[in-house]
Chains A and B, each alone.
Chain A
């Protein structure tokens, strides 16, 4: 799949943003007033920034409101509904926290649930696609949720759970890569089934239908060199999980350094998740590529 910057930014930032909102909704940290303002600006900034970025790739963003109508069938629609729900509920909750010095616990729990649900629905947009075996796995929601929770915990300063969540996310990431690399083959789909000619002999794509390029090739066919991918995986893993874990577990003296390390951990994590997300798209083989003799 074409690793479009808009979707990478969207899933990376909004995942982190909703992760933070999840913790804020749970009262972790139970901030109010100006401190709350800062937290909520960051959380809403990430979540909304991500959502906004996702509209960049739309052909008709002005019609985006229509995307709320098909929640019965469409995970994308559900994501929209959940996201808006989460933002409204958490917005109300934030107003309470920032201006009324109140923690409306029930509202917070609902907001937290909606935030997590948003991340889950986002993940299901990809998971549901049988056409992309590397995404069509239970591990895909696990990746999105574990990343979101780990990032949220990092940002929320949830020191108790953050290391655990980072470790889990890292493990999920490794499992996802391992299983994902075998997913296309395991799916049973190949040029033989794609053309129905497989039982006649070895099928090989000959001339492409057009020598010119097209939307399908631009959107679905992206080839990442194996070595290049290995390098990026290393970077994603180190930056996304190993380094942040190291930074928050390293005992340091003084609040400034501690915050500096925490900030570094967040930035590192963000960069790692973005890299992982780039790979998530770039390495994903859409079965349409088979028709073009590509994967």
Chain B
């Protein structure tokens, strides 16, 4: 059913910390592994050992350079997968009802048995979150590991998306963004979590934590400089200082 639910009980999603992501692609491959073996059709690869290899991935890590007006350019690694938008255009455009948003947790899913592979949902998504699998002819997208997060065959601690579980830097957080008291909501509030392309009106559930300010150490020189006041200008003076300093050590003076 491609009508969006009026509201969802929870808004499960990801919070991605751009200040911490080192761009290692761990989430990309972990996602590929889990979702190749699990939900729906495998994520196929075309020409995997040939001239133009390509494949279906539900999560990809971009990188951007930001050149501030002053100072060094910065490099920001930028993981991107489905944002499970509250106002998900990919759902409403679907002609068959294959695309839907779950009322209990807000996860946007594709019912692969009903998908005709028309691609319109991918067209409607500003974020590039959906990829048509060439082998299977159906649309694939991040499921927020719906087959992990409630899976009673997994230990409770593992009932999180595979990208979150694997992220070495801890740059990915999972939780209920509809609950203002959840850890993820607090993180978003503290760090000024942001939406991608807010002007699209999609109301993404996933949030991005912006990088903290960088390259500020020289500005702190006024605080730091006094720490570096020379104890002596000449080597002899240094030895004099040393002698006194040694006396000051615990048990130093006779």
A and B touch in the complex (CB under 8 A): yes
Which residue of A68, A196, A200, A201 is within 8 Å of B196 (Cβ)?
A196
Q: Determine which of A80, A129, A210, A287 lies in contact with B60 in the assembled complex, contact meaning CB atoms within 8 Å.
A: A210
User: Contact between B116 and A60 (Cβ–Cβ < 8 Å)?
Assistant: yes
Check if B55 is an interface residue, CB within 8 A of chain A: yes
Query: At the interface with chain A, which of B132-140, B230-238, B245-253?
Result: B132-140
Tell me if B118 and A74 are in contact (CB < 8 A). no
A131 and B123: CB pair below 8 A? yes
* Segment from B7-15, B95-103, B162-170, B176-184 that makes contact with A: B95-103
In-complex Cβ contact of A212 among B28, B55, B65, B95 (8 A)? B55
Report B-chain residues with C-beta under 8 Å of the C-beta of A218.
54
Closest B residue to A215 by beta carbon equals B131
Cβ of B68 within 8 Å of any chain A Cβ, yes or no, is yes
Is A219 an interface residue when CB atoms closer than 8 A count as contact? yes
Are B125 and A214 neighbours in the complex by a CB distance under 8 Å? no
Please, how many angstroms separate the alpha-carbon atoms of A67 and B67 in the complex? 47
Number of interface residues of A (CB under 8 A): 59
Residues of B with C-beta under 8 A to A68: 95
Q: Which residues of A, 200-253, contact B by the 8 Å Cβ criterion?
A: 200-210, 212-216, 218-220
Quick check: is A128 within 8 A (CB to CB) of the other chain? yes
Render A57-78 as a binary contact track against B, CB cut-off 8 A, 1 for contact.
1111101101111101111110
Q: Which residue of B lies closest to A70 (CB)?
A: B2
Asked if B67 contacts A204 (CB within 8 A), the reply is yes
> B127 an interface residue at 8 Å Cβ cutoff?
yes
Interface flag for A194 (CB, 8 Å): yes
> Contact at B122–A67, with CB atoms within 8 Å?
no
Partner of A66, one of B93, B98, B132: B98
Is B67's CB under 8 angstroms from A63's CB?
no
- Of the stretches A99-107, A110-118, A184-192, the one at the interface is A184-192
In the complex, B24 has a CB within 8 A of chain A: no
Interface segment, B75-83, B146-154, B219-227? B75-83
Tell whether A291 is near chain B: CB-to-CB under 8 Å: yes
User: Cβ of A60 and Cβ of B126 under 8 Å apart?
Assistant: no
Once the chains bind, are B69 and A201 in contact (CB under 8 Å)? yes
Looking at the assembled complex, report how far the CB atom of B61 sits from the nearest CB atom of chain A, in whole angstroms: 5
**CB atoms of B137 and A60 under 8 A apart:** yes
* Interface residues in B176-205 (C-beta closer than 8 Å to A): 194-201
Contact of B197 among A70, A193, A219 (CB under 8 A): A193
On whether the beta carbons of B115 and A287 are closer than 8 Å, the reply is no
Interface presence of B106 (CB below 8 A): no
Q: Are B95 and A66 in contact (CB under 8 A)?
A: yes
Residues A9-63 near B (CB distance < 8 A): 57-61, 63
Q: Does A197 contact B (CB under 8 A)?
A: yes
Cβ–Cβ contact B92 & A74, under 8 A? yes
Q: Shortest Cβ distance from B1 into chain A, in angstroms?
A: 8
From B140, which residue of chain A is reached at the shortest CB distance?
Answer: A215
CA distance A197 to B195 in the complex (A): 11
Interchain CA distance A61-B115 in the complex, whole Å:
10
A53 and B69 alpha carbons, distance in the complex (Å)? 52
Q: How far is the CA of A70 from the CA of B208 in the complex (A)?
A: 33
Please judge, given known A-B contacts A63-B116, A209-B60, whether A215 and B122 are in contact too, CB under 8 Å: yes
Find the A residue at minimum CB distance from B207.
Answer: A196
In the bound complex, how far is the Cα of B133 from the Cα of A286, in angstroms?
20
Kindly state whether residue B218 has any CB partner on chain A within 8 Å.
no
Cβ of B205 to closest chain A Cβ, rounded Å: 15
Contact assessment for B93 and A76 in the assembled complex, using a CB-CB cutoff below 8 Å = yes
Using Cβ atoms and an 8 Å threshold, which residues of chain A touch B93?
Answer: 73-76, 125, 128-129
Smallest Cβ distance from B17 to chain A, in angstroms?
13
Known interface pairs A206-B65, A209-B28. Does A195 touch B78 (Cβ–Cβ under 8 Å)? Answer: yes
Q: Tell me the smallest distance from the CB of B18 to a CB of chain A, in Å.
A: 8
Q: Which of B2, B120, B134 contacts A215 (CB 8 A)?
A: B134
Q: Is the CB of A59 within 8 A of B117?
A: yes
- 0/1 interface trace, chain A 124-154, chain B, CB 8 Å (1 if under): 0100111110000000000000000000000
Q: Does B107 contact A (CB under 8 A)?
A: no
Asked if B244 CB lies within 8 Å of chain A CBs, one says no
With an 8 A cutoff between CB atoms, is B210 at the interface?
yes
The reply to whether the CB of A288 lies closer than 8 angstroms to some CB of chain B is: yes
| Known interface pairs A74-B92, A215-B122; A60-B64 also in contact (CB < 8 Å) | no
The answer to whether A215 touches B114, judged by C-beta atoms less than 8 angstroms apart, is: no
Q: How far is the CA of A148 from the CA of B165 in the complex (A)?
A: 54
Q: A59-B132, A201-B69, A214-B54 are in contact. Are A208 and B116 (CB under 8 A)?
A: no
A-B contacts, 20 listed (Cβ < 8 Å): A59-B117, A59-B133, A63-B96, A63-B115, A63-B116, A70-B2, A73-B91, A77-B96, A131-B200, A194-B197, A195-B64, A197-B210, A197-B211, A202-B67, A205-B62, A206-B64, A206-B65, A209-B60, A219-B132, A288-B126
A-B pairs, top 7 by smallest CB distance, nearest first, are A59-B117, A59-B137, A209-B60, A66-B96, A201-B68, A67-B95, A76-B95
